[in-house]
Chains A and B, each alone.
Chain A
Amino acid sequence: MKQKLTSSVPIILLLALTAVGLTGQSYPGKPKIIRCRSLEKETFSCWWKPGSDGGLPTNYTLFYSKDSEEKIYECPDYRTSGPNSCYFDKNHTNPWTTYNITVVATNEIGSNSSDPQYVDVTSIVQPDAPVNLSLETKTSANTMYLWAKWSPPPLDNVSSNSHVYHYELRLKPEEKEEWETVSVGVQTQYKVIRLQAGVKYVVQVRCMLDLGEWSEWSSERCIQIPNGESPPEKPTIIKCRSPEKETFTCWWKPGSDGGYPTNYTLLYSKEGEEQVYECPDYRTAGPNSCYFDKKHTSFWTIYNITVRATNEMGSNISDPHYVDVTYIVQPDPPVNVTLELKKPINRKPYLVLTWCPPPLADVRSGWLTLEYELRLKPEEGEEWETIFVGQQTQYKMFSLNPGKKYIVQIHCKPDHHGSWSEWSSENYIQIPTDFRVKDMVVWIVVGVLSSLICLIMSWTMVLKGYRMIAFILPPVPGPKIKGIDTHLLETGKSEELLSALGCHGFPPTSDCEELLIEYLEVEDSEDQQLMPSHTNGHPSKNAKMIPKETDSDSGRGSCDSPSLLSEKCRECRALPSTLQTPDVRDVQENKGGKRSGETQCIVSEQKVLLFNNESTKSSTWPAAQLPNNQPPVFAYHSTVDAHKITLNTTNVNIAPVLVGNEEKHQSQFPITDTVHNDMEKQREMENLHSKTDQTTVQVKQNRPNDKSPFLNPKLMDYVEVHKVRQDEPAVLLKHKENSGKTKKYTVPGTSKEYTKVSTVVDHNILVLMPDSCIQHTSVSQEAATEMSPNLQQGQAEKNMSYCLTPPSECIRETNGSEYMDPSSFMPSFK
């Protein structure tokens, strides 16, 4: 994180700098260290060349570090070696250290530093040239020789005696190119022999310390080896110049003086005049020059100028120089050059240059008219672009490349004649980048900053875990379902959760799933109903209905009694395939019977109502509640009864077969009876039931052949057929045996058949009313006690049940215990 931040800081700084640079002023240009030099290896100096100042006052600071230390020092002395230099005195100079030196230019906007310069003091030693070289010709023993003397280079702070210099001397005849170099040693004088008489010699010396480089050669000294006596050489007039078209000055170069002190005289005559005048002013313009003031300056006149050099031996006159002052005007460069960046609204910025004519030039009089020319180039560019401006003293530039720094110079010249002045000093201007680019920069800044913020955010998130996330994105509350224990959800135990939802053994091992599926299959059975299969025994029809209804309410009950599940679920599963096909057949074959069945059902319904009133309900309910398999049994009884009732009227002829069947079953009845009678033997019952299954399978198998499942009405009185569909055992109960018990529960005055059976065929839904007599060996006692509360409940339920088809009520009677309330299910199914 820190690294990222620190690395991004320079970027931001850079951006800020460029943003600032968009204004006219800018940070200074890069300074350049020109050279470092030690005169005597005890001190040294470095000089640098400043870059552009960015239009603002700029300070230069020199920093250095030594190879042995980390510390950075600033220049100890900026003055001694002149401007733009740094002087390292003895205390700051270590000859065995490499210095790393940089110069930093700073102004208000920013700073810019030079490339570093590495300095090893011993390798930059170069003394100044020797001084005070003097030459003498002497004659001894008719031999001419040259005697040269000089002084070692002067040193400011160090006593010059402490250094030993080696010297070299060179000389040549003036007109020759090749030097003759002589090693002198440590002496400061030298005698040159074998010189050509009458020849003028040029002599120079230089020096060196025991290490480092040779100094520059000293300034030339000339000496004429006497050839006898001679006048001085011809001087040469170099140039004449008028800076303002009012005065002018001429310079000349003296020739050799011939070994004697020489005087120089400038003489001039004007055109058309015979008179010769001498220079009015030798001093003002320096040595070897003549200044003509206004009085002595005439225009449109040709001056004939000569210089005469004179010594003891004679004189010599230069070639004449003709001057028309009008044409030697060369003004000084323009001054006060200013560059200003104008930024008009809705237009590109442009550059306005203004300047003033040189102060000497009197342009207001009209005497001197100046024309200007400016040149400019990008700072790093090579070629100048030159623009002739004319007489105006300002210029606007529109087509400059944005984002570049330009150097601008101006010079001037009189119109129609004269020559150009020197160029003015360099002026720098930073052209701002385009407005669009400016926008770009802004956007880049924004982008960088925002991405930075994102980085920081994500980083802190990672560091602080998900607290931030939780803070920013609070947890979404999960869906809440009424009745679901959220604690269970949280503990995440699926089994418990599912059991809470109703299926206790949800994972497929349990039968709940199967039961659910059964129910679905019941619905499917409607399709199958269209294709009645004769193979299905009619008992299945009855049984079919029962599972359906038991399903509706059995979900819990069946699961609650795992012992029964296997059977029951099997029944449920198997039933749908055969469901109701018999019914259809019945409908087709025995319409009349069906009707009668319906009517009977209604009747039975009424009875049920009575029952309810009389709290028969309580008696029926326990059937579902009972853990044993009695409820189905009852149902079977009832359905069978219903069939008996319906079939009584119609299918008499088949009765014998049925009887046969029933007879077969009769063997089993005692067992079941015992079960009913003895509630304590429920477990045995289960076993028995399985046995009965086996037996019933046989019965079932027989039945298809018989095709007489409906023909038992005759037996009704004696036997209850407890029937399961083909796969399942059909149980036949002897009704007579149970009758006594049944009577206890049924409403007095109603016949057995009616109370036991409530059958309604209503759109494939057959509801059977259990035989109360059978079921209620065990529950009866309870029922009696609970009668009154059940009554109320029952009445409450009546409202519902009335709307329902009779079966519902029948079922309610059968299953109407406190534990399961089928009525609550039924309407929803309807």
Chain B
Amino acid sequence: MLAKVVLPRWLMSGAYQWEYHYLKLEELANVYMGQLVSQFSMTDYPLSFHGLCSAVGQCGNQVGCRFWDLALREHSHVNKKGIYDEALSSFFRNVDSRRSVGGSCDITGGRIQSLKARAVLVDMEEGVVNEILQGPLRELFDSTQLITDVSGSGNNWAVGHWTYGSAYREQIVDQLRRAAEHCDCLQCFFLIHSMGGGTGSGLGTCVLKLLEEEFPEVCRIVTSVYPSAEDDVVTSPYNSVLAMRELTEHADCVLPVENQSLVDIVNKIKHMSHSGKPGSVIKKDSAIISGQGGVSGAEKPFDAMNNIVANLLLNITSSARFEGSLNMDLNEIAMNLVPFPRLHYLVPSLTPLYTLADVNIPTRRLDQMFTDAFSKDHQLIRADPKHSLYLACALMVRGNVQVSDLRRNIERLKPMLPFVSWNQEGWKTGLCSVPPVGHSHSLLALANNTCVKSTFMELRDRFTKLYRKKAHMHHYLHVDGMEQGCFTEAISSLSSLIEEYSQLDATKDRPMPDAARLNIAT
């Protein structure tokens, strides 16, 4: 029997909004006895995972914006009492906003007063950041967390990396240090940027280098959005290849996302929700592309695509934020998925991408989710990992899934997936009990797979077309700090990366004998 009840939903401004909920009677009793304790209000527990986000450039900040919005939605869904708990503390500080900005101090535990994102936002153009500051997320950021300029980078990697890189170096390092000081235990940096432009690509990779210099022991995970072939920025191949070299040298893990894949996924979802197949209705408000239920208002053009990337970040950090029977934190991801230091490009795939309202047999639907994770349509780059070689694969499962479900599906899928000979059982798994909003379970797969090679080869081709004719190069070369050598080094780094993947590919269908064991004198 269900009772209709009005309960408060806290907003980050500290105010409460009253909402209708349908509760079972037992839950009702708990609420009125003040005991509806969320599993995660562990206020006595020492804070554990803290992640610091840096969004650079227009794309990076737009994705970042969706990430904060959806993160708040996710936490408010499980955290009904408005207690600042360990899960929230992973990405948000709780401050007493009555004090001045400079002296605002962190409050651990207790009621949520004012949340601040653990972030540093950087953009050399004001448009996107100003929008954030005028929107409902403005309260999440102190003015000190924002580093902006007016003129932008003109889609020029050199301007982003060298000109702004040196001009803003001190300020960026300062802000990063401040943000890091507010973290009890800084476990990981997330950098979000695009590869094709000037700021995200150039200044973003400069920030990456700074992170390595200042905090060499903290894991650096980069989400990079790669341009599609029809990108309207002519110089995007130059920018991307120049940035690639920095990613290969200075990042611990890169999650590459291709714009074209996001476009394809969004189109497919829109097509399905309009096709009106009998007996199937897409629950739009729980679709992974929908930002509904979040704090921001109406959706903007790139929002659907950006939501997908934001969900990627939510899922990768879920086990570090919420509890589960098999925890998987970010250091473990970097450890298990990167067998050789430069081969750290992890192809992400997310399921489900939409929810059907009609009820299927639960187990079959769960298994379908695993199958989908390996299908071409669910990858966030345009590649088919099933037909290339897996070096390692991580599965992060959220929701009510047990270790036996996980093992059953791995057994089932293993025969269809080619793994490198020395890592035949190269699976890293995690179970987090809390599913994303609107779903009963979800799966994020991160594959270290040689299929990234094709993305890189295409990039190299586009680069070569321009480079052969020296098109637009003067714009780069007359920037202080930039030389011809930068180009040759970058393309050579990319080529040798491709070569490393090729060599591994060559072992694919060759049966490898076991290495001869050591002989012990008896």
Whether A associates with B in a native complex is no
B residues neighboring A (CB under 8 Å): none
A residues neighboring B (CB under 8 Å): none
